[in-house]
Structure 1
Amino acid sequence: MDAFAKSVPAKDRRGFFDNPNRIESLLTNLLLQKQLAAEARAAGIDKSPATQSQIELAIDTELAKIRMQQFRTDVKVPNLDELAREEYIAHKEKYLLPVTVTVKHVLISTKERSDEEAKALADKVAVEAKADPAGFDALVEKYSDDPSKADNHGVIVDAASGKYAPEFAQASGELMKPNEISPVVKTGFGYHVIELVKREEAKKRSFEEVKGEIAARLRSEFVDKQVKGHTDALRNQPMDANEALVASLRQRYADEATSPAGK
């Protein structure tokens, strides 16, 4: 079980094993694997040259993976505080908190009405909304086809972000004052009428606020560079190869696939 646990990323291990049913299923599968392996040994399968080669390959694969994990852990990372500060000073725009926009919207779906009918109804809703922005909640309840309105009452947080349809996000981001109503906007879902609830402009974050974030990225980049350097050095060591034998592999496995034993 401990050996299996090592195959689960450390950050996910606690959640993975915090489930009695999952543990029971895992134990059953590990036991089955042990039983089948015991049958294979009893039948002498582990003694055949072909099986030995597969076992050696599995061992090499696992050892290589463990070695790389160990290498990453053992990399000596220098103090990156000064480099992090230089990164912050040179690229302050990367560490802004973006504009955050919260809106309410009415969706007029085109799923069960024609495009012309949906557009006409959306135009009507927009006129009513602009005439009485304070009554927008009632318009959501009366007209919106968005199934999530029962839970969010038409409210969309972070509406100008990439989480939403580009047309919707752009229209939301262009609203500047609370209760401002957008022009009718068309997306793949239908037509939207949008009202601005709240807008928070982009905000600068101090170096102390982002220091950990920058240092973590720089550390990861440094370790990745050391790993690449180590593996590149191994790959670039002199190697003697039998060119004819390497070339024959292509035909070897093609012949194996068409032979009676390979079927």
Structure 2
Amino acid sequence: MSDEKTVLISQQGAVRILTNSNPGARNAITPTLYAELSAALADAANDPEVGAVVFTGAGDFFCSGGDLNLLAKRRELPASERREKLEGLHDLIRDIRDFGKPVIAAVEGGAAGAGLSMALACDMLVSARDAFYTVAYVKVGLTPDGGATAFLAEFVSRQVLTEMCLTGDRMTAERLHALGAVNRLTDKGAALAEAIALAAKVADGPQRASARIKALCRQAHRATLEQQLEAEAVYMVESQADAEAAEGIDAFLGKRRADFAALRRKTKPDAS
């Protein structure tokens, strides 16, 4: 058994790039992906030099979803063990969705099944114009997992959601962009570079305020106005007392660019 890593890790400035590397199978999900990607996210969360994360797939495809050879073998397992293995995916989805720093998906080729779920779990999505997206499960007699129906329901009607899930038909990146799920469209082969540029833009921002903004945006579609007003009030009161606000306001009044990175360097623990 090779000890080659499934998740490749690189860095450009304040942007941590995590690459699902299984290109021979169009980056299908391997048994090691859950643990490796969750560990990589935890490391990025604790590193003050990381302001944002880009998640992508190696080669020319984002992720083709679960490995059907592995899924076929699960039929032989008791229901409790099948559930336990499925929770590995769901825990990863939660880790992506609840990550405290911005996460941007860079999609080339396509995202199918659980690959679609992982892309939509990210905060923003940059896609090549010719990429496709499919729920796919129905074609092999399975039902969606990984939060696919929850994420899709945030921006498509019940009728469109039902059609996608019952037919497994592909949806183009351009249609998802029109529906609001894709932030930016690029030419083929340019999604990663565009995602890194977008990540670099938000990575320079105030990290604690950004985490609060992420939380507000994550719950906004399902919260009532009163619930959202309460959450906004709590976070604004916290933010006003934060050193990030002191730096940001002082920079604005002084007609200079705020240096939030300097605040992060001050709080970085010693290497000792």
TM bucket, shorter chain: under 0.3
Higher helix share: 1
TM-score by length of 1: 0.22
With a CA cutoff of 8 Å and minimum separation of 6, indicate the structure with the bigger relative contact order: 1
TM-score by length of 2: 0.21
